[in-house]
A and B are shown apart, each in its own frame.
Chain A
Amino acid sequence: MAGKNDPNHKREIWPGTLVLMVLKSLETMGPQHGYGIARRIEQVSGQELLVNYGTLYPALIKLEQEGYIQSEWGNTENNRRARYYRLAPAGRKLLAEEARAWQRAHDLLARFWRPQEP
């Protein structure tokens, strides 16, 4: 990969975290199409992350198959046909659990980063 050490290059999303970001985006924004979700993740990350549709849509398919999200066809403001995803009750629960887990992991790591007491 050419841009791995390039500081200006956008990061690929860590495996496993995309799912969380998708669920969180849906929770915040309500029903949203794929493009909307991608934009939201990129914006929230301050353009740090790049969401490719080759990674986004397979993840959406898997989430739907597992019953965490649901989808239906609708129209955008510009009257384009698009598939809208929304959070299913199971997804909401998963999000809450995962958020707690990540928070705990973050807190734990943060303690390690703090300078050690002599």
Chain B
Amino acid sequence: MNFARQIRRTLVRVGELFHRRRRERELADELATHLALHAAEYERAGLPPEEARRRAQIKLGGLDAAAEACRDRRGLRWLDGLAQDLRFGLRQMRKARAFSMAAILTLALGLGATTAVFSLFQATLLEPLPYPQAHRLMSLEVLDRRAVSHGIDFGLARILAKPASLLRKLAVYTSFPAHVRYRQHTWNSLVEVSTPELFQLTATHAARGRLFDAGDVSAGRPVVVISHAFWRQALHGDPHAVGETLGVSSGSFTIVGILPAHARYPFLAGTPPIWLPISPRLIAGLLPNLYRGISPGSAGWGYDVLGRLASGATRAAAAAEFQTRFHNWLSARHTLLYDAQHVRVTLVPLAGLVSRPYRRPLWLLLIAAGLLLLIACVNLANLLSARVGARRVEIVTRAMLGAGRRELMRQWLVENLLLALPGAAAGWGLALAALRLSRSELPLGLGAAELALKPALLLAALGAGVAIALLLALLPAWQAGRWQNHPGSPALANLRHGECRAPRRMRQALTTAEIALSFMLLLSAGLLLHSLLRTLAVRPGFNPRRLLDAYIQLPLNQYKTHADWTRFAAEVLARLQARPAVASAAVAVTPPMLSGGATITQAIQNFGAHGPVGHPLEMALQPVSPGYFTTMQIPLLSGRDFRAGDTARSRRVCIINRALARQAFPGRNPLGKKLGNDVVIGVVGNTMGQTLTRPPAPGYFVPLAQFPVPFLHFLARTKTPAAGFVPEMRKICGADLNGLPIVIRPLESEIAHDASLSAERVHAWLTALLGLLGLGVAGMGIYSLLAYGVTQRRHELGVRSALGATHGQLVRLIVAGGLKLALVGGLIGLAAAWAFGRLLAGLLFQVSPGDLWSYLGAGLLLTGVALAASYVPARRAAKLDPLEALRYE
């Protein structure tokens, strides 16, 4: 058929939506004329008028049917049908308020959770870096033999950061914690030092003022750029901040600019940082020879090199260039730090590096949210199936009156959409609320700051709601077809009695599926929570009770020499130990949990007669004062502690922990043996690493007197609760410091609020929340199934009651039905969860995927909910008045 004509016809039909009354009158006139003219002809043939009219009517057929056929051609009939269905649907919604609420709520939960989790997923894993062409930003990594990332030395970083053919621009940056002063206030902040290229690589421009450039670096100007968050939080958005002076550690810097809010370096969330330009002079002043003992002449480890890969270049090709450069550098010097044969330089996409720690937990959360959505859908199908059962008389009547499968589907589709659209809207609301909460409350790591619902995601949620509505509309149409074809039930009377077996069995299957899915979710949540508990219960290897930490950075203009630093430490320590409230006190540089992730790594190569033996040993170097192990209550396993006699001039000694003893001296007594230049004089127990979930690192302790450092942690074990001693501790430590800032923290609360656990905690609780929501929805499924069953079986229950069944027997009958479902669902869920648990294994700490407690907990919770959900309908069944129930029929 001619396409243009079709369009014309459609347009005409749209126009015909108006002036309907006139058109209806004309149609009636036209048909009446036709009939009259026909009758007139019969009259002319000699029939009496009455008979003529009758004959004409018989010949032409029903007037109404003809008018209806014409109306079908006019206007848009489906639109009228839609309006009718809408009115009917709204009436149905009002009639079944409980059902409507349950359906909308279920859908809102499923869609809301999925939307919120997906936007988290998107912000963190899909678009973790808010910079143009962020996928081309590459981090240069020096990997050792075990593919573990090696630190990059400043000298090496400068060599690597020279422009290459495939990475034309590179930047070097690192960070360290320091005290920051602005006017009268001080904070402990993260200080980033970077080359100006970092801003160019990420195409970042200052929101206020300017960013530092190559000129600042070469002139050695003391300038600082602050992050937007730092400006807002620490400086309270001071409009005159640019041009003011900011004190960093012992130096003073001029604030030249503020970064835009979206710019995050070093690409991770955390303390809002400030940036200083890397210049040798600056580093010499701020990062004093902390690392002198390890790598003479270098400014230490821990530098990152970042570059932008040229378009079309492959990572491997670019890495090869740096590999050559690295080997040239290595052969020109003698360092034991890199094992030349095995070290490789690789390019790792920054986005992946940044989001790596969140990848598995977020995938898990996404799967969990998907499962919740699935449970919600199954529950909807379940609810709807009950609804179809309750309205079967209406459905069959419609079908008998000529409604086709399409009409039935359309009507139910409209009704489902009336539930799905508010459901999707409520889901949006839930997702928005959840994201607002997570922005302000949850330290979810990166991406949390930019969390926002993307319009595309909202549309996707809406689309999912509509798709679900569409899919579920198939159910009644299919059911109606079955009822019609049911051999025994063409009569409505039959339908009214009891229900057909098929839909009941289907609903049982659906409920079982819900239970199985929510059991899976619950179990994963249980495993994660148990893992979290295990982590929190980890014995850190020392006793944090009543232990206070005071952190001091010595001002280098005042304390110039190693002797100054050593003297300061000894004096403060003596004053602390003199207090009656202090049981013992000591000094450390990188105590576990307290150094903010800073460690001093040392590598030692053992040499035999024929050159190096084995691979270099890497260990965490920890300068400590005598009494450190007593104060921390770390057990001394053999040998002796450091004593006042171990000074810079005496023999160099060290104490190692058990992990290092096992690595360096397997099966031998380490006491008296040499490790590097130091003689081992003692072995102590392991302590946890910088975070609780890390295995104990090989630990290497040296006397502070032989390894002086100007960053000191004073540790005091108090006899009374530690909080009461804080003011005194501040006074003692700060007596000589002219008001220099001191950070004092009780270790107990540090461990409880270990930042490294916050992400794990959030993931575990979120999964638990999703699991509980799933369980709630499944409980609703059990309840609705049984409640509907009780209504359906009213007659049977009445008969049982009349025949002498006691309340208890009736309650048991119904509850047993519910428990049977829970048992079957639970068993299926068990099998699925067992498989799913394997996926979780990598996220668990000291908990196996087959953890008995988690299985027990999930099982008990499920049984409890099943019992509660069956008990309410069961009580209703028991309370049925037999006479009433029998009369109902």
Inter-chain contact B61/A54, CB cutoff 8 Å? yes
| B61: min CB distance to chain A, Å | 5
Interchain CA distance A51-B304 in the complex, whole Å: 90
Pull 20 A–B residue pairs with CB atoms less than 8 Å apart, ordered by A: A33-B37, A35-B34, A35-B38, A50-B59, A52-B61, A52-B66, A53-B61, A54-B69, A57-B70, A58-B69, A62-B9, A65-B8, A65-B9, A66-B5, A66-B6, A66-B8, A67-B5, A80-B36, A81-B33, A83-B29
Q: In the complex, which residues 8-43 of chain A have their Cβ closer than 8 Å to any Cβ of chain B? A: 33-35, 38
Q: Which residues of A lie under 8 Å from residue B37 when comparing CB positions?
A: 33, 35, 76, 80, 82
In the complex where A35-B33, A61-B73 touch, is A53 in contact with B9 (Cβ < 8 A)?
Answer: no
Inter-chain contact A66/B9, CB cutoff 8 Å? yes
Q: Which residues of B lie under 8 Å from residue A80 when comparing CB positions?
A: 33, 36-37
Tier of interface size on chain A = 20 to 34
Interchain CA distance A51-B13 in the complex, whole Å: 25
| Residue B72 interfacial (CB < 8 Å) | yes
Closest residue of B by beta carbon distance from A64:
B12
In the complex where A58-B73, A61-B70, A61-B73 touch, is A53 in contact with B5 (Cβ < 8 A)?
Answer: no
Q: Which residues of B lie under 8 Å from residue A35 when comparing CB positions?
A: 33-34, 37-38
Interface of B toward A, CB cutoff 8 Å: 2, 5-6, 8-9, 12-13, 26-27, 29-31, 33-34, 36-38, 40, 59-62, 65-66, 69-70, 72-74
| Residue A78 interfacial (CB < 8 Å) | yes
Interchain CA distance A76-B13 in the complex, whole Å: 29
Question: Mostly helix, strand, loop or mixed at chain B's interface?
Answer: helix
Residue of B5, B38, B72 near A58 (CB, 8 A) is B72
Inter-chain contact B66/A54, CB cutoff 8 Å? yes
Closest residue of A by beta carbon distance from B13:
A65
Interchain CA distance A86-B40 in the complex, whole Å: 24
Q: Which residues of B lie under 8 Å from residue A65 when comparing CB positions?
A: 8-9, 12-13, 73
Interchain CA distance A33-B40 in the complex, whole Å: 15
B2, B13, B34 — which one has the most chain A CB atoms within 10 A of its CB? B34
Q: A65-B9, A83-B30 are in contact. List 18 more A-B contacts (CB 8 A).
A: A34-B30, A35-B38, A38-B34, A50-B59, A54-B65, A54-B69, A55-B69, A57-B30, A57-B70, A61-B70, A61-B73, A65-B8, A65-B12, A66-B6, A80-B36, A81-B29, A82-B37, A83-B26
Q: Which residues of A lie under 8 Å from residue B40 when comparing CB positions?
A: 78
Question: What is the total of A-B residue contacts with beta carbons within 8 Å?
Answer: 69
Interchain CA distance A83-B12 in the complex, whole Å: 19
Closest residue of A by beta carbon distance from B9:
A65
Inter-chain contact B13/A82, CB cutoff 8 Å? no
Inter-chain contact B36/A62, CB cutoff 8 Å? no
Q: Which residues of B lie under 8 Å from residue A81 when comparing CB positions?
A: 29, 33
Interchain CA distance A47-B13 in the complex, whole Å: 34
Closest residue of B by beta carbon distance from A59:
B73
| A11: min CB distance to chain B, Å | 15
| B433: min CB distance to chain A, Å | 51
The 3 nearest A-B residue pairs measured at CB: A54-B66, A35-B37, A61-B73
Interchain CA distance A58-B61 in the complex, whole Å: 15
Closest residue of B by beta carbon distance from A82:
B33
Interchain CA distance A55-B13 in the complex, whole Å: 19
0/1 per residue, A82-99, Cβ < 8 Å to B?
Answer: 110000000000000000
Q: Which residues of B lie under 8 Å from residue A50 when comparing CB positions?
A: 59
Q: Which residues of B lie under 8 Å from residue A61 when comparing CB positions?
A: 70, 73-74
In the complex where A35-B33, A65-B13 touch, is A53 in contact with B26 (Cβ < 8 A)?
Answer: no
Interchain CA distance A80-B74 in the complex, whole Å: 24
Interchain CA distance A78-B43 in the complex, whole Å: 14
Closest residue of A by beta carbon distance from B65:
A54
| A48: min CB distance to chain B, Å | 15
Interchain CA distance A65-B16 in the complex, whole Å: 10
Inter-chain contact B34/A34, CB cutoff 8 Å? yes
Interchain CA distance A109-B272 in the complex, whole Å: 88
Q: Which residues of A lie under 8 Å from residue B38 when comparing CB positions?
A: 35
A35, A50, A76, A78 — which one has the most chain B CB atoms within 10 A of its CB? A35
Q: Which residues of A lie under 8 Å from residue B36 when comparing CB positions?
A: 80
Residue of A62, A78, A82 near B73 (CB, 8 A) is A62
Closest residue of B by beta carbon distance from A53:
B66
Q: Which residues of A lie under 8 Å from residue B13 when comparing CB positions?
A: 65
Closest residue of B by beta carbon distance from A94:
B2
| B512: min CB distance to chain A, Å | 50
Residue of B8, B12, B31 near A57 (CB, 8 A) is B31
Inter-chain contact A52/B70, CB cutoff 8 Å? no
| A61: min CB distance to chain B, Å | 4
Q: Which residues of A lie under 8 Å from residue B73 when comparing CB positions?
A: 58, 61-62, 65
Residue of A38, A54, A78, A82 near B30 (CB, 8 A) is A82
| A81: min CB distance to chain B, Å | 6
Inter-chain contact A53/B33, CB cutoff 8 Å? no
Interchain CA distance A55-B61 in the complex, whole Å: 11
Interchain CA distance A38-B34 in the complex, whole Å: 9
Q: Which residues of A lie under 8 Å from residue B59 when comparing CB positions?
A: 50
Closest residue of B by beta carbon distance from A78:
B40
| A37: min CB distance to chain B, Å | 10
Interchain CA distance A52-B57 in the complex, whole Å: 11
Interchain CA distance A82-B31 in the complex, whole Å: 9
Interchain CA distance A55-B29 in the complex, whole Å: 17
Inter-chain contact B70/A58, CB cutoff 8 Å? yes
Closest residue of A by beta carbon distance from B41:
A39
Q: Which residues of A lie under 8 Å from residue B62 when comparing CB positions?
A: 54
| A13: min CB distance to chain B, Å | 14
Inter-chain contact B9/A52, CB cutoff 8 Å? no
Interchain CA distance A35-B33 in the complex, whole Å: 8
Q: Which residues of A lie under 8 Å from residue B9 when comparing CB positions?
A: 62, 65-66
Interchain CA distance A53-B9 in the complex, whole Å: 21
Interchain CA distance A10-B59 in the complex, whole Å: 11
Q: Which residues of B lie under 8 Å from residue A67 when comparing CB positions?
A: 5, 8
Interchain CA distance A82-B27 in the complex, whole Å: 10
Interchain CA distance A33-B32 in the complex, whole Å: 12
Interchain CA distance A81-B59 in the complex, whole Å: 22
B26, B30, B61, B66 — which one has the most chain A CB atoms within 10 A of its CB? B30
Closest residue of A by beta carbon distance from B12:
A65
In the complex where A58-B69, A61-B73, A65-B13 touch, is A53 in contact with B8 (Cβ < 8 A)?
Answer: no
Interchain CA distance A78-B36 in the complex, whole Å: 11
Interchain CA distance A5-B871 in the complex, whole Å: 66
| A41: min CB distance to chain B, Å | 13
Q: Which residues of A lie under 8 Å from residue B65 when comparing CB positions?
A: 54
Interchain CA distance A34-B169 in the complex, whole Å: 84
| A79: min CB distance to chain B, Å | 12
Q: Which residues of B lie under 8 Å from residue A55 when comparing CB positions?
A: 69
| B116: min CB distance to chain A, Å | 50
Interchain CA distance A32-B30 in the complex, whole Å: 13
| A15: min CB distance to chain B, Å | 13
Closest residue of B by beta carbon distance from A51:
B60
